[in-house]
Structure formats: structure tokens, C-alpha cells
Structure 1
Amino acid sequence: MESTLVYGFGADSCTNTRIEDCYIVSGDDCVAVKSGWDEYGIAYGMPTKQLVIRRLTCISPFSAVIALGSEMSGGIQDVRAEDIVAINSESGVRIKTAVGRGGYVKDIYVRRMTMKTMKWAFWMTGNYASHADDKYDPNALPVIQNINYRDMVAENVTMAARLEGIYGDPFTGICISNVTIQMAKKAKKVPWTCTDIDGISSDVTPAPCNLLPEQGEEKIGACTFPEESLPIEDIQIQTCTYSRNL
């Protein structure tokens, strides 16, 4: 019998969405955030924005707990994730894109994430080069900026981070603060690999790569989780009960 890998949740080209209080076991990403693929996503132009993800427990042995892209050509903006538990997963937070995607992933905020037994805590790649067809624009470069991770702990991790931007189109504004990653006994000798990225860090163990220099807590304001709430957070979910008299 063939098995099909499916997401836990897919948020695609939507505004004001809330995913919360869930236990997810997935053969693919636990939460996949998307907005269209290559020239079709660019033409449709409907971003995913104002997305709240909180209080999740996720198991995803072959993929990410939270994945942004790779279909992100319509744009992804203002994603807020907090209070996440990740267990036995390939990566905690993953950003996937490629030349030809266009679009953007920006203003991403993740805090209070606990990770246990991970291949990577953080993974960003600009080399996810699958395409819908050969009609994509090779000059359509994605914009990845203002990516914020803070207040996280992880244990039994093979590699802390694999951060790979695009040559000539670096990922910028990456901010990582107050993160402690305990490496596995058979971890990679180099815990961080970074190419074509730019950002800062504060109080991160093991020490990040040189492209994320230590700035100190007094300069780390860019990592601050937004204080203002989104409209979706004020909506009260109505519940009802039903009983049947036999």
C-alpha cells in the first residue's frame, strides 16, 4: 500500500488566520505556509499574512515543524509563532525559496520554542529549485528579510543551523537571541553553516557563524516579538454542546 505525505496544516494565500492548541504528527511539514508558485503566484499576487501559530506540539521526522515556502511567490508576511514543542523532527523552522520564485518572506517572529531530537534547529535555503514548469522568470528573485527567533531551547540536535541565501540576493535582517542548542553525541563538527545571509545574534549557544555577530542584549531590539495584537487574536471561538435523549 502506498502512503501519501500530508501537511498538518497548510496556510496558502490567506489573511488573518489562527492555528492553535493542536497536537500534530505529520509525514511532511506540521504547518506549511505558502502563497503560490513561481509566475502563477506572482500573477495571482495574494500573500499569506497576519498568521498566528501558537501552543502546538509537532512531530515531523522527515520535514519541518513550521515551513515557509517554497511556494511563496505571492508573498508571506507577519507570521507570529510562539509556545511550540517540536519532537523528533527534521527542522524546527525552515524557509524555502529559489531563484525564479520572486515574492517575499518577511516579518517572521518565532519565540518560546522547545525542540527535542532535531536534524537542524533552523534551516533557510535559497536553493529549493523545483519549478512548476519552464516558464518561470529567472530574474525573479525572492526577498527574505526580518526573520526573528528568540527564547528557544533545543536538545539532541545534529546541526544547529544551515542558513543558505542566494548569491547576489542575500537573506537579510536575521536576528537570533537567547537560544541554547544542546548538540547530539554524533553532531556535525561545524554546528552552523552560513552563506549569503546577514544578521545579528545575542546569547546564542553554540556560537553562530561570523555572519551573525554577537551584538549584546542592548542592541537586539529587532528580535522583539510584536506587542500589538492582530485582529484574528480578538475573535472568540464559539463552542456548543449537543446531547441526544434516547
Structure 2
Amino acid sequence: MSGGIQDVRAEDITAIHSESGVRIKTTIGRGAYVKDIFHPDDKFDPKAIPVVQNISYSNVVAENVTMAAKLEGIPGAPFTGICIYNVTAEVVKSKKPIWNCTDVEGVSSHVTPTPCAQIPEYPDRITHCPFPEDDLPVNGVGLEECAYQRAKP
């Protein structure tokens, strides 16, 4: 993490009995950023503040969850550019808040239940969240079926 993270995709996720479907975790002392891939170095700075920006969640359905989302930035260095579009969370009764948002900034559209104030809804202005359109090399990977039969001596 001290070198940074970016251009990460998460697609077609099914999370069952999971604490979180997608988790981006960092802390003060890690420094760098969470946005694009950058090679780590050995210059650890315990006071370095990470920059987390441009995180998109689109077309998500969550069932039987105890909270819609927990978005916690860093005091004085909020996570910015968060976009949440076309997300539905079926929240069961819980003592936890439905949305837990601190030190984050962003926008949302077509989200149920209504997101926290830091991620306000703009249903008439937001029609999607940014997502890369290019194919990943792994998309071209195919599996071939083969058979092996041991020759008799």
C-alpha cells in the first residue's frame, strides 16, 4: 500500500456470509494513494497520508445485510470522487446505522436506501459512474478440454 493502488476493477461479485462485498482499507502511515497502480518503494513515512479518490460502485444488489455501506475516510484527508449508481441494499433490522459515512465526498443516483448526506443523490444528473470500457487480458483467456489415457505396458 505504501506505493499506491489504482485501476482496480471488481466485477460480477457474489459475496455470501461476508463482512463486506468490497473493502478498501488503508490507514495513516501508509501514504501514497488508492487510484492507479504504482510500484512500492522502501521509503516508509509514518506520517504520510494516503489519497483515496474516484471510487465507483454501480449495479450492486445486496440482500439481507446489516448496513448499506460503511465509508470511512481520514479526518483532514477525506476520500473524494465517490460515485454510487443503481445500488439497492435490503437492510435487515440492526442496531448499526444504515449508512455510516465519515470524511468522504461524492455523488449518487438511484440508490436505495437513501445514502448519507456526504454522498447526495442527483437522480436527474447522474446516469452512471465512470468504469473502464477496455478489455482486460484475462477476458481473452479460454479453457480447453483435453483427456489423458495412460498407455498399457
Whole-angstrom CA distance in 2 between matches of 1:240 and 1:217: 53
Per-residue deviation, 1:240:
4.3
CA contact (8 A) 2:55 2:81 kept: yes
Per-residue deviation, 1:225:
2.5
Asked if 1:155 corresponds to 2:36, the answer is no
Which structure carries more strand by proportion?
A: 1
Whole-angstrom CA distance in 2 between matches of 1:103 and 1:92: 24
Extract unaligned runs of 5+ from structure 1. 1-71, 108-134
**Alignment partner, residue 196 of structure 1:** 103
Whole-angstrom CA distance in 2 between matches of 1:225 and 1:245: 52
Whole-angstrom CA distance in 2 between matches of 1:160 and 1:191: 5
Residues 106-152 of structure 1, C-alpha deviations (whole Å, 9 max, x = no match): 26xxxxxxxxxxxxxxxxxxxxxxxxxxx952331111111111111
**Alignment partner, residue 134 of structure 2:** 228
Per-residue deviation, 1:237:
5.4
**Alignment partner, residue 143 of structure 1:** 51
Give the stretch that moved more between structures: 223-232 or 151-160. Answer: 223-232
Q: Give the counterpart letter for 2:51 in structure 1.
A: V
Per-residue deviation, 1:187:
1.8
Asked if 1:242 corresponds to 2:120, the answer is no
**Alignment partner, residue 89 of structure 1:** 18
The percentage of counterpart residues that share the same residue type is 62
Whole-angstrom CA distance in 2 between matches of 1:90 and 1:189: 13
Larger Rg: 2
Give the number of aligned pairs: 146
Whole-angstrom CA distance in 2 between matches of 1:200 and 1:206: 14
Per-residue deviation, 1:217:
5.3
1:93 aligned counterpart, secondary structure:
coil
Whole-angstrom CA distance in 2 between matches of 1:188 and 1:82: 30
Whole-angstrom CA distance in 1 between matches of 2:46 and 2:77: 13
Q: Give the counterpart letter for 1:74 in structure 2.
A: G
> What's the TM-score, normalizing by structure 2?
0.84
2:139 aligned counterpart, secondary structure:
helix
Structure 1 residues 218 and 237, CA gap change in structure 2 (3 angstroms): farther
**What is the root-mean-square deviation of aligned Cα atoms in Å?**
2.1
Which structure carries more helix by proportion?
A: 1
User: Structure 2 residue aligned with 1:176, among 74, 84, 102?
Assistant: 84
Whole-angstrom CA distance in 2 between matches of 1:139 and 1:204: 36
Whole-angstrom CA distance in 1 between matches of 2:62 and 2:126: 24
Per-residue deviation, 1:232:
4.0
Extract unaligned runs of 5+ from structure 2. 37-42
Whole-angstrom CA distance in 2 between matches of 1:153 and 1:236: 28
